[in-house]
A and B are shown apart, each in its own frame.
Chain A
Amino acid sequence: MEMITNWIGTIPGAVSQGFVWGIMALGLYITFKILDFADLTVDGSICTGAAVCTILMTNGYNVWFAMAMAFIAGCIAGLVTGLLHTRMGIPPILAGILTQLMLWSVNLIIMSGKANVALSGFKFRDKLLISTGSVNITKSIIILSIIIFILVTALYWFFGTQFGISLRSTGNSKNMSRAQGINTSFTTVFGLALSNGIVAFSGSLLAQQQGAADINMGRGAIVIGLAAVIVGESIISKLATNFYIRLLGVVLGAVIYWLVFQTVIFIGLPSEYLKMLSALVVAIFLGVPYIKANLSGKKNKSGSVKNA
């Protein structure tokens, strides 16, 4: 009984963490789902957002300003990946890896060579937008809910505009898009910039939540983001096709991911297994539809033999 109440006690933390990563996953959704571009830049840009926000705040800047700058820094990172791909013909995954590696240096430079910069303590007590700790967790969840609501609404609207649907068609059919006069290089670069801007923005929230910016905080971020996107999609796509709901589903996916995680830790899995676990979750979710399709293909084949 006590164990269950203890477990329930971990839920708000998981939800708050899920919300922050849900915002990250919304950014990833733009590249992975809408542009059909597997963008590995995010492992670097999430840390860039955290670093920019932390450094600005330690220098006395307002949290909103710091978060806006984090967004812009992320946009620039996405821009670099976009230009590497569209101007220099580098394949998407490699372009992302190259920027990610560049960002490692950039992030260290932003943090003046330190691998970890704290964003906690008395100095920041009233200045952070969100933070952990039982006193602040409800406030954090409310603020994150509002941010998510605004972001999802903005994305829903944007991808229904004349320019927004041209981004979607770029990811869907480049031939059709160019034949209809869409500059697919521009839309790709724009999408990457927007995506990484949102990812870096989530990084600025993550730094506040964790109380620090850490050079390693982005490692494997893409896998967590993908897990959220895939888990969310597979749950929501059965219930609704509405784009707004699907975007919310991505956030739901992130929350589920962290709930499962907290539970697994709670049960007592050593933390060194966690990255392995998240990679396996993504591999299984990505692989199952393929395996299913293959199996049903075989069944159909034997079926047709029977009919013949």
Chain B
Amino acid sequence: MLEIKNICKTFNTGTINEKVALDDLSLKLNEGDFVTVIGGNGAGKSTMLNAIAGVFPIDNGSISINGEDITKLPEYKRAKYIGRVFQDPMMGTAADMLMEENLSIAERRGKKRYIKWAISKKDRERYKELLTQLDLGLENRLSSKMGLLSGGQRQAVTLLMASMEKPKLLLLDEHTAALDPATAAKVLDLTDKIVVEHHLTAIMITHNMNDAIKHGNRLIMMNQGKIIFDVAGEEKAKLTKTVLLNKFAEIAGQNQESDRMVLS
């Protein structure tokens, strides 16, 4: 489904701040995979997601979805295949626009936008139905400005926006990190529901190991721009926090040298 081959990305090449963010990374996802991604700060998790989404060009390697090479496509063209939810609830929606306008924009992701009145009565009915399914009481706030919603509500709506025009791939970049625990749990449940309902292929970055274990059918751990641990299926189901913590300790040992430099 998604195939990443040997991608590399270095930021600030040739300067004192040079940082290898992705180091010859390869990853293959099967249809319907729900992958959780963990790793320390600067491991390259978000960089990998942004590389897939096309936020910046990569230095090397190739990315393809369903056999189609998207390496050279700009971000907005990749949106045809990819739905995204960001860490910052402010980023996924247009705050000064109405909720129905946000939904209308999302509904035409990957389609041509015509000079034709955007929102009909029928559209409103459909949006209402979709919002009812979120079960957050948002169905009567279609004509509210997005910015008036809470962070959790906005993430829920962003999830809806990412999935209402079914994407081939859903990218979730720590989308619950900015929420309080109760809201985060609710948004995660909703994520599970949407992924299952639409049979989506998804990648979810999280800092919470329990969430990483609990959700999805596959887990990868990243360190220094590489995937260092990749489990799926049965093995993933049996995974415990202790195993992951040991893995982290192992990496920490390897990284000690650089950590010492940072801390000194």
Contact = CB atoms under 8 A, between A and B. Distances in A.
Contact of B114 (A163, A176, A178): A163
A162 B116 contact: yes
Contact of B95 (A166, A173, A178, A180): A173
Contact of B97 (A168, A181, A183): A168
Interface in A131-170: 157-158, 160-166, 168-169
Contacts of B95: 172-173
Nearest to A186: B76
A160 B109 contact: no
B121 interface: no
A39 B69 CA distance: 38
Contact of A165 (B76, B91, B97, B110): B97
A182 interface: yes
Nearest to A157: B117
A39 to B, nearest CB: 19
Contact of B105 (A160, A169, A175): A169
Contacts of B116: 161-162
A180 B106 CA distance: 6
A13 B144 CA distance: 41
Interface centre among A165, A169, A177 (most CB of B within 10 A): A165
A166 to B, nearest CB: 5
Given A161-B118, A162-B104, A172 B97 contact: yes
Interface stretch (B77-85, B213-221, B230-238): B77-85
A163 B113 contact: yes
Interface string B142-173: 00000000000000000001100000000000
Contacts of B86: 175, 179
B94 A182 contact: no
B97 A175 contact: no
B220 to A, nearest CB: 23
Given A161-B116, A161-B117, A173 B110 contact: no
B79 A164 contact: no
Interface centre among A157, A163, A166, A176 (most CB of B within 10 A): A176
Interface in B39-84: 53, 74-77, 79-80, 83-84
Contact of B94 (A160, A168, A183): A168
A184 interface: yes
A177 B86 CA distance: 13
A162 B118 contact: yes
A183 B76 contact: yes
A165 B84 contact: no
A257 to B, nearest CB: 25
Nearest to B93: A176
B92 A181 contact: no
Interface centre among A160, A168, A178, A182 (most CB of B within 10 A): A178
Interface residues of B, number: 36
B141 interface: no
A176 B76 contact: no
A158 B161 contact: no
B129 interface: no
B56 to A, nearest CB: 12
Interface in A72-88: none
Contact of A161 (B74, B96, B114, B161): B114
A161 B104 CA distance: 10
B108 interface: yes
Contacts of A177: 76, 94, 105
Contacts of B243: none
A165 B105 contact: yes
Nearest to B86: A175
B85 to A, nearest CB: 9
A160 B118 contact: yes
A83 to B, nearest CB: 16
Nearest to B101: A165
A153 to B, nearest CB: 13
Contact of B115 (A164, A175, A176, A182): A164
A166 B115 contact: no
B105 A180 contact: yes
A180 B109 contact: yes
A178 B105 contact: no
A250 to B, nearest CB: 17
Interface in B92-136: 92-97, 101-102, 104-106, 108-111, 113-119
Contacts of B94: 168-169, 172-173, 176-177
Given A180-B161, A182-B105, 5 more contacts: A162-B104, A168-B94, A176-B105, A178-B76, A183-B76
6 tightest CB-CB pairs across the interface, nearest first?
Answer: A181-B79, A172-B94, A162-B113, A169-B94, A181-B109, A163-B113
